[in-house]
Amino acid sequence: MTEQLGHGVGEEARTADEAGDVNEAIAAELRLMDPAVRSSRTRAGQLLDPEFIEVGTSGRRYTYDVMVAGLADDPGSSADGPRYESSAITGVLLAPGLVHLTYETDFDGRRARRSSIWRKRSEETGWRMYYHQGTPVPPDVE
């Protein structure tokens, strides 16, 4: 995490809490790549914020309702089909209850750089993806 923390007794606890928040957001992001979650409207809907917006690699804009209704039919939602493979996933706590993740995916030979913002409004709702954007990476780019 890149945030500078003040020195003092609470620094280790704050750092551990922040790392925990980032790790929870990463775990939720990885769950959204699982075909069993993607194919379930209920499970996917629990991980997306009601105000969710995505700008996909196609440039199209998706809302919560559109995503929950169509995710089961999207690529990567079939247990016997190609899967999203993530790499270099990192995160930073932007503010309490707000985590920004960046990473790359490979899906059936197509690479994308991805950015997600996760927010946690309460313990009951947990971490939910608020915003996501994918940008295609041409084959000749490192």
Q: Considering just the CA atoms, what is the radius of gyration of the chain in Å?
A: 16
CB neighbourhood size of 66 (10 A): 14
Residue 47 has pLDDT above 90, yes or no: yes
List, for residues 52-70, the tens digit of each pLDDT value.
Answer: 999 998 999 999 999 999 9
Residue 1 has pLDDT above 50, yes or no: no
- Whole-model pTM? 0.87
Q: Which residues contact 21 (CB under 8 A, 6 or more apart)?
A: 93, 97, 99, 120, 127
* Residues β-bridged to residue 82: none
- Residue-level pLDDT at 3: 35
Mean pLDDT, residues 115-123: 97
Residue pointed to by tokens 């309490």: 96
